[in-house]
Structure 1
């Protein structure tokens, strides 16, 4: 599965909209949606820092790693 983005969880806890957050950190709502929905290939540290400042959280509150499931052994 890889990296999971939990921006929506933090937004819900803060009762903040995507549009409001995008405005606070200076990116478009569309670009924030790409990041929020896990479709981004990368995130700049400056963007991550702005997210953390606006949401009053740590990077680990926004991003987490989930290991890929190992393929099941089909020989049984």
Structure 2
């Protein structure tokens, strides 16, 4: 099966931040990742993400990876 370009994985970081009344800047400080890199992820422009970054985001937001990402149906 060929890889879709663009991919169908959507990041729900914006929604999770809003639900927790948290800013991207505050999350960046907690996670230790730059605001620019989190913004790229939040705006669904990321091509890859490290497992350590995912773990840190999920820990900071008290969520699972399934809460953070969804696959859009074809």
Q: Same fold (TM over 0.5)?
A: yes
Deviation at 1:67, TM superposition (A): 2.0
Corresponding position: 1:2 with 2:8? yes
Question: Alignment partner of 1:57: what SS?
Answer: coil
Partner of 1:29: 35
Contiguous gaps of at least 5 residues in structure 2: 1-6
Partner of 2:47: 41
Q: Which aligned segments of 4 or more residues in structure 1 are displaced greater than 2 angstroms?
A: none
Query: RMSD between aligned alpha carbons?
Result: 0.9
**TM-score for both structures, normalised by structure 1:** 0.86
**TM-score for both structures, normalised by structure 2:** 0.88
Please tell me whether Structure 1 or Structure 2 has the larger radius of gyration of its CA atoms.
Answer: 1
Contiguous gaps of at least 5 residues in structure 1: 69-76
